[in-house]
A and B are shown apart, each in its own frame.
Chain A
């Protein structure tokens, strides 16, 4: 029977009747197995009628006890539907116990795994008993399964049993088989993260022993062991340096997870060494090399890498030496890749590569994709603000783009021009002229608001500014609040700088409209302020139109404690979002750099939030790593 046919929904009653009908046939074992497959397929499809078939499944599983494939399917069924059929599960228990004594390690592992998954009281009792036995089994795979089973039943186990588990896990940290050690580390970290009162620490000898084991084990164990190094607090610089040196070769691994975790450990250790880059000069080349290797991986991994590169550039830029051309967008990159690459291009731009960067950004600005165009124009403008020496060239590029008279380009230039004018007051006024010519293209509210602000601020430099204001003012009623506020201020500024009949009429009109007709309280209030100011007949120009402070680049620079925490979490989900971990995941425990005599930069960070308050050790104070 072809398996793809099994994925059709059937009614539970049909299956029951089929089974009955075929009971007498000689080939019933094969038939029953395929029925079991059909049931599991339906279960996958979400057909919850299957839950009612638990007694039939129990019968089949007990019957086909010698077939591992059928056994797995049966266990899978019960792992899913145990809440609906506790009685049958209890009847399954003797078979599971039997399996646990089986000759085959595969079956033993399977049984301990299933015992831990099904969460019924009888199972829990049995499981607690057998898990400790499993962890002492002669076969390493069964030991490993036992270890992972602990993480599933720890939560519901009573206190004494928990103690037993912890002792057994600690014992397995010295197991001769590496992947069992790795499993034990994984499980312990899991428990520390999810339950209170526990803490993982590792002393120097064990840490160095673990690091020696790194060379000879499989890649996933390497990931676990690297994470265990994160629990070590180097007390001297020499320790930190020798550990980092051992991790450096792992940057060449083919598995991106090993590479990112090795990078995480190296960055963590670098906090404990003064002038890390001077002590290990090869580190820059190795880190940059490994990042360029990671960029050859599939898109999702590239994305994760790039977000972490942004993180490193914010804080540990001395460790990186990247070519900007590595992050130029390709035509068929997915949207999230293009966005992140654009951000990286912006962060990596400096005076030496600016011509290359500007040329590339100009190319993006002429693409067809609206969003991409806007973002690249914003980047060009921000570059002008970030690097004063290249401002002229950036503005030239913007001028060229304006000449194309495409609506979204003009709008975006209007928005960014506002920031440029604030950074370089008095310069680049010729751009305003081009904007004035294209004023009809400014249809979206951000660009209109921006342009109106420019008009108000530079009304004396722009010819016919009053006329233009009047034209834009015609739409006042339909504009959003932000634009209305801006218009109000701009009109008052215009009147004060260029008092004339025209501007006076404008002012009177706008004040009347906003005080009498406007619904927004903000708009009304502001209008009243201005009215009173104007009626006072004093020299109010400085109040309305002061000298504005020069702006800095609007960077989302994260505060140092957040950076510190994110660096401890390189490669994790929080590093993708680049937000404080608890903002995204409420239940996470905060992490800080542990203090030690070797820690550099103690003043600025470690004082802000305490790490692992000693007070929390009052319940089962187990230092789980000896």
Chain B
């Protein structure tokens, strides 16, 4: 299991270091720094083994999160732990991106997390709701909150500590029998005045096509995120359907989805029902992957480079294939051009087109595009000698569509059943489709 754990910043300085078992000494952190961080452009694998010691690492921004192990350990546990550790820090600090300063500002808390989640090198407990009672260190104010709304400011006001006369907080007593219950992710039975559930269906669309429009891969990776604020210990039933071609609703194919640990997999396997006792607060209920027959956008490019002419001209057609009642926002099309291009002559009826020199792309941004529309961009760039041997990155597209699911999924029902307290639940569902990796080869 995990013998040691290190967090480094971008320059290779150690921010957190913790040994869990015998077998390595503290200065093993130097080995990693020399072998991997200093050669960071040449990483061949997330795992490096020297002798019997292995270093498994992931990167989060500029930070390196490393686990050191001494024998043939279960790499899946270690890698999953490293990713979950980062997620946990993100949720504890309520930030999207954890930086070096955040780690330094909260290092007692980070050490506590490590203490409680890894015992003697074995991973034991990563769920935030069960972990929180054990963490006594407060989260430092970072001075930046996700949104400067009233709630953000109120939250900030709440954390201003009263000036105590040098006294320190007492030990927190955790509700301890909770984890013996069959749903360890929901230790307490909270009470809410207003019981609500917020369901977000977020779909990330991936596409890969060849230069002549042949589709190699087209699928969505979807996630259902929930924010459950329900009193007591409710059991919930969730139904999701998938609308395919002929307007018929079909249940989610069983082999394409993975679930949070709270979902009863047995029930899903036997009866195709998604039944679970939700943890309190935000969590990801399930993630799925479905193939998509009709991508929401089609992109056609032609490029004419006349020899003898000093310019090559490109024509880009963008067509939207979703219903006209739906609108996509922030549609950005990035067309690579040969490196060293500095001038652009563009012509389009909609949106803005500009050349981003540092990345060698021409960027066409359309604020809002309804379905069933077709737009054309024409531009010309001067020819350059570097053209022939240049790398040809694909065209990439990014967009964001509200209230529409590219994969054709729809939440059919969500029932809450709390035996002792009968209450009505306010449910709201939002859909969002985004582009994740949309590559059209040129």
Beyond A104-B171, A215-B265, A252-B257, whether A68 also contacts B136 by CB under 8 A is yes
4 nearest CB pairs, A to B: A289-B255, A368-B391, A249-B265, A148-B120
A2 touches B45 (CB 8 A): no
The segment from A105-113, A426-434, A447-455, A548-556 found at the interface with B is: A105-113
B46 touches A367 (CB 8 A): no
A4 touches B101 (CB 8 A): yes
Shortest distance between the CB of B291 and any CB in chain A (Å): 9
B265 touches A252 (CB 8 A): yes
Q: B residues within 8 A CB of A7?
A: 15, 104
Name which of B75, B83, B105 has the most chain A CB atoms within 10 A of its CB: B75
Q: Does A286 contact B (CB under 8 A)?
A: yes
B168 touches A33 (CB 8 A): yes
Q: Does B111 contact A (CB under 8 A)?
A: yes
B83 touches A215 (CB 8 A): no
Contact of A30 among B75, B168, B286 (CB under 8 A): B168
The segment from B123-131, B302-310, B427-435 found at the interface with A is: B123-131
A330 touches B208 (CB 8 A): yes
CA distance A29 to B111 in the complex (A): 21
B167 touches A293 (CB 8 A): no
**Nearest A residue to B253, CB-CB:** A289
A40-B111, A336-B45 known; 8 new pairs, CB 8 Å cut-off, are: A69-B136, A183-B122, A218-B179, A252-B269, A257-B79, A259-B258, A573-B69, A585-B52
Beyond A3-B107, A571-B76, whether A298 also contacts B168 by CB under 8 A is no
What are 25 A-B residue pairs whose CB atoms fall within 8 Å in the complex?
A40-B108, A45-B14, A66-B170, A68-B171, A73-B111, A144-B119, A179-B125, A179-B184, A186-B1, A217-B184, A223-B77, A252-B268, A286-B255, A299-B46, A300-B46, A301-B76, A301-B80, A328-B208, A328-B217, A334-B43, A335-B44, A571-B75, A573-B72, A585-B71, A588-B71
Shortest distance between the CB of B113 and any CB in chain A (Å): 11
Q: B residues within 8 A CB of A293?
A: 256-258, 287, 289
Contact with A along B40-59 (1 / 0, CB 8 A): 00011111010010101010
Contact with B along A1-27 (1 / 0, CB 8 A): 011101100000000000000000011
Q: A residues within 8 A CB of B258?
A: 252-254, 259, 290, 293
**Nearest B residue to A215, CB-CB:** B266
B46 touches A368 (CB 8 A): no
Near A by CB (< 8 A), chain B positions 83-129 give 83, 101, 104-108, 111-112, 115, 119-127
Q: A residues within 8 A CB of B439?
A: 330-331
Q: Does A149 contact B (CB under 8 A)?
A: yes
A106 touches B171 (CB 8 A): yes
Q: Does A171 contact B (CB under 8 A)?
A: no
B265 touches A577 (CB 8 A): no
Q: B residues within 8 A CB of A67?
A: 136, 168-169, 171
Contact with B along A223-250 (1 / 0, CB 8 A): 1100100000000000000000000111
A218 touches B127 (CB 8 A): yes
B172 touches A106 (CB 8 A): yes
CA distance A190 to B394 in the complex (A): 49
Instruction: Spell out A's residues near B (CB within 8 Å).
Output: 2-4, 6-7, 26-30, 33, 37, 40-41, 44-46, 64, 66-70, 72-73, 76, 79-80, 103-107, 110, 113, 116, 119, 139-141, 144-145, 148-149, 151-152, 155, 176-177, 179, 183, 186-187, 190, 193, 215-220, 222-224, 227, 248-250, 252-261, 285-286, 288-290, 292-293, 296, 298-301, 303-304, 325-326, 328, 330-331, 334-336, 356, 359-360, 363, 366-369, 569, 571-577, 581, 584-588
Shortest distance between the CB of A111 and any CB in chain B (Å): 12
Q: Does B166 contact A (CB under 8 A)?
A: yes
A585 touches B173 (CB 8 A): no
CA distance A227 to B73 in the complex (A): 12
**Nearest A residue to B208, CB-CB:** A328
CA distance A81 to B142 in the complex (A): 31
**Nearest A residue to B169, CB-CB:** A67
B257 touches A218 (CB 8 A): no
Shortest distance between the CB of B64 and any CB in chain A (Å): 12
Q: B residues within 8 A CB of A80?
A: 19, 26
B171 touches A66 (CB 8 A): yes
Beyond A72-B112, A223-B77, A331-B393, whether A44 also contacts B107 by CB under 8 A is yes
B168 touches A252 (CB 8 A): no
Q: B residues within 8 A CB of A29?
A: 166-168
B43 touches A336 (CB 8 A): yes
Instruction: Spell out B's residues near A (CB within 8 Å).
Output: 1, 13-19, 21-22, 26-27, 29, 43-47, 49, 52, 54, 56, 58, 69, 71-77, 79-80, 82-83, 101, 104-108, 111-112, 115, 119-127, 130, 133-134, 136-137, 140, 165-174, 176-177, 179-180, 182-185, 208, 210, 216-217, 221, 254-261, 264-266, 268-269, 284, 286-287, 289, 389-394, 437, 439, 441
CA distance A224 to B119 in the complex (A): 14
CA distance A104 to B182 in the complex (A): 23
B21 touches A152 (CB 8 A): yes
A260 touches B43 (CB 8 A): no
Shortest distance between the CB of A326 and any CB in chain B (Å): 7
B72 touches A588 (CB 8 A): yes
A248 touches B269 (CB 8 A): yes
B221 touches A296 (CB 8 A): yes
Q: A residues within 8 A CB of B171?
A: 66-68, 104, 106-107
Q: A residues within 8 A CB of B210?
A: 359, 363
B174 touches A106 (CB 8 A): yes
Q: A residues within 8 A CB of B130?
A: 218
**Nearest B residue to A585, CB-CB:** B72
CA distance A339 to B153 in the complex (A): 49
Contact of A572 among B73, B83, B268 (CB under 8 A): B73
Q: A residues within 8 A CB of B216?
A: 325, 328, 356, 360
B72 touches A250 (CB 8 A): no
**Nearest B residue to A301, CB-CB:** B79
**Nearest A residue to B30, CB-CB:** A46
A141 touches B259 (CB 8 A): no
CA distance A119 to B21 in the complex (A): 11
CA distance A360 to B119 in the complex (A): 47
CA distance A292 to B220 in the complex (A): 12
CA distance A585 to B289 in the complex (A): 37
Contact of B119 among A33, A148, A285, A369 (CB under 8 A): A148
B256 touches A72 (CB 8 A): no
A44 touches B14 (CB 8 A): yes
Q: B residues within 8 A CB of A300?
A: 46, 56, 58, 79, 82-83
A581 touches B72 (CB 8 A): yes
Beyond A328-B216, A330-B208, whether A261 also contacts B180 by CB under 8 A is no
Q: A residues within 8 A CB of B76?
A: 256-257, 260-261, 301, 304, 571-572
CA distance A254 to B224 in the complex (A): 12
Name which of A3, A40, A116 has the most chain B CB atoms within 10 A of its CB: A3
Name which of B71, B177, B184 has the most chain A CB atoms within 10 A of its CB: B71
Shortest distance between the CB of B124 and any CB in chain A (Å): 6
Beyond A190-B1, A293-B256, A575-B75, whether A26 also contacts B165 by CB under 8 A is yes
Shortest distance between the CB of A458 and any CB in chain B (Å): 33
Shortest distance between the CB of B123 and any CB in chain A (Å): 5
Shortest distance between the CB of A245 and any CB in chain B (Å): 9
**Nearest B residue to A70, CB-CB:** B168
B79 touches A304 (CB 8 A): yes
CA distance A152 to B441 in the complex (A): 55
A254 touches B261 (CB 8 A): yes
Shortest distance between the CB of B121 and any CB in chain A (Å): 8
B391 touches A367 (CB 8 A): yes
A573 touches B49 (CB 8 A): yes
Q: B residues within 8 A CB of A6?
A: 104, 107
A253 touches B265 (CB 8 A): yes
B58 touches A298 (CB 8 A): yes
Shortest distance between the CB of B223 and any CB in chain A (Å): 10
B389 touches A368 (CB 8 A): yes
Shortest distance between the CB of A7 and any CB in chain B (Å): 5
B74 touches A571 (CB 8 A): yes
Beyond A104-B171, A179-B184, A335-B44, whether A587 also contacts B52 by CB under 8 A is yes
